[in-house]
Chain A
Amino acid sequence: MQNILVIRNLVKKYGSFPALDSFSCDIAKGVTGLLGPNGAGKTTLIRAFLGIHPFESGSIKFLDYELPKDLLAVKDKIGYQPEVDTKILKTSAMRYVTHMGTMAGLSRNTAKQRAFDTLHYVGLGEARYRDMNTFSQGMMQKVKLATALVHDPLLLLLDEPTAGCDPDSHEQILELISDLGNSHHKNIIISTHLLPDIERTASHVVLMNRGKKVIQGDLNNILRQDDKIINLQVRVDGDHNKFAQLLQNNGFEVTNATEIISFNIERDDDKKYLSIFKIARNNGMNIRMMTTYRQSLEDVFLNEIAKNKLEN
């Protein structure tokens, strides 16, 4: 798949602190999740890309544009939704989005029309003439999304797009992101702490820590476990502690012996599979459930960050 963004050896320092430390990554077309703990450098990366905080060295290539040489052309092709709430005193959502449309290069009439469309699209059609200062957190997130979309950018940079939302607004914004990515083929980079949001909307992930890339790639590949070893989860209708003990006596390394017993097993070891059923049958137990464990993005995140800390 073609990369929309190629970043090489990016360095950005605040004083002597390296916020981006030779950061490199490739971001493919589609929806990409940008992950990392606080202070990992996610927002710095976005700001360096937008030219708000110029980087010291390295290169960023966005499609055919090179930064910082083509910064102005790139700015017009990006829609940015910042993490913080952005407000202008005594201003309606319609006026705000229209104004930001003109700042992105739309004529006033076009900006008005597009503001009307995008505010309806994000679900704020009825509230568009209300003062933004009266908006809830969820509504503010939608205004920011409409602002990012108003000039129909090639790439959307969404920094914590669901932060502070109530469950309803949270769901609606995820739906909008999915719709933009899937139905309208928008390229989106989502920077967030909410890993389930990434699992739901993104097809690729970049995990960063301390200004460096930890892992990157297709989300499904990252979530897939080691090909040879899988984690099997079993539930029996009987004494699960006894069954766990029996498994251990037969050479299984049980990692969890609560109601759901889990243990690692070689994917192709058919004999081992059969022995599980034998053990159950010989002890008068029935296997109610047997499934492979699919690790969550949170597991990957925590493991990789822990590994990264050890390496450093």
Chain B
Amino acid sequence: MTEDQMNANSTDYLQKFTYRLYDGKFQPRWMRVLYLIRFELISTWRKSKFAKYLMIIILVFSFFSILGAAMLKDIEPDEGEGKVSVRDALNESIASYFAFNLSFILSNSDGISYGLGRGLAMLLFIVIGLAGSGFFADDKQGKVIEIYLSRLEKREYLTGKVGAIVIYINIFVLLPLIITGVLFVQSLEKDHEKFLDFYMGIIIYSVLCSIILGLFILVLSIFVEKRSYASLIFFLVFLFGTIIGQAITYDNLDNEFFLLVSPTNFLVLLAYVCLGDYDLGVWDAKKEKYVELNLDNSVGLEYWHVFLQAFLLIIVFSLLLAYKIWKTTTEEL
């Protein structure tokens, strides 16, 4: 190599790493929200080892449930009456996903369960709490909110965060539920077209459920100082909320509205109403039998009350998030 060539090469190097102007295109604004969602999902996976292991455990358990659903051929029910029982079994499997074992007092089939998710609810709440608590708390701790807001609108920043947590939750909710539902139907050799409303119900339930849980953990993440506190509060609300709610419900079975107090009961009810199953039973410990709970008889608790509570929760959590972001103090940036 001649000296000239060497000089040329070294100049190339300098040229390559000097400041370079950019005259290319800028992406539309919605793309930035998608990039933020992608970044948050990958970061959430990377950040907590514990959450990573729990996530794997949940997916493995879900896999076994899916496997179980695929092997249900032996209990094939007969036609006619069987269709109702299959549908009840399917609905119950979906509805019990977020139920603690101790709390599952709602049933559409007098307690006969083909449940796929029982026992996982505890892990689900822990994973969602661990993952979601960092969404804002880590940004506050790392002082990156200001740099985000120098590039994004406040609503874009919020949308990205909400989008990420909703997608994250649906990895554990929509994905296993829809696969199990499909395999369940397939294994019982039913026509899938007849179950389109069932699939739609699963999607609506998963989306509503993930928005409510996601917004709740985001609210905790933005209001609470540390992510560990936010995770703990999230888990405790569901644990003690369920225990207290259950106690209230048992003592007031004549007032159906008390069923909405327990967070897990609310999620179970939400699943049933999303799946269009309004004819349920509530376990009466005193009588030791299921008493009728009809959500479409214009008496007491109705299906639209459950939807109303879901939408009210979404609105309240959204307003709290928006308020906090719009009123972020100088110290929090």
**Taking beta carbons and an 8 Å cutoff, which residues of A are in contact with B?**
14, 43-44, 47, 50-53, 71-72, 75-76, 78, 80, 82, 84-91, 99-100, 102-108, 110, 114, 117-118, 120-121, 125, 147, 149, 151-152, 179-180, 183-184
Contact = CB atoms under 8 A, between A and B. Distances in A.
Contacts of A184: 19, 21
A72 B157 CA distance: 13
Given A89-B47, A106-B26, A114-B22, A75 B142 contact: no
Given A52-B333, A105-B32, A152-B22, A84 B47 contact: no
B26 A82 contact: no
A103 B32 CA distance: 5
Contacts of A179: 19
Nearest to A125: B17
Contacts of A47: 146, 330, 333
22 contacts: A47-B330, A52-B333, A80-B146, A82-B333, A84-B333, A87-B142, A90-B46, A102-B27, A102-B31, A102-B32, A102-B39, A104-B32, A104-B151, A105-B29, A105-B31, A105-B151, A114-B20, A117-B17, A117-B19, A151-B26, A152-B21, A179-B19
Interface string B288-330: 0000000000000000000000000000000000000000001
B150 A78 contact: yes
Contacts of B122: none
B5 to A, nearest CB: 23
B9 interface: no
Q: How large is the interface on B (under 10, 10 to 19, 20 to 34, 35 or more residues)?
A: 35 or more
Nearest to A73: B26
A73 B155 CA distance: 16
Interface of B: 16-22, 24-27, 29, 31-32, 35-36, 39, 43, 46-47, 134, 138-139, 142-144, 146-153, 330, 333
Nearest to A144: B147
A100 B147 contact: yes
A75 B151 contact: yes
Nearest to B333: A52
Nearest to A114: B22
Given A103-B151, A120-B17, A179-B19, A89 B29 contact: no
A88 B27 contact: no
B27 A180 contact: no
Given A87-B143, A103-B148, A149 B26 contact: no
Contact of B143 (A82, A99, A100): A82
Given A89-B47, A125-B17, A184-B19, A52 B26 contact: no
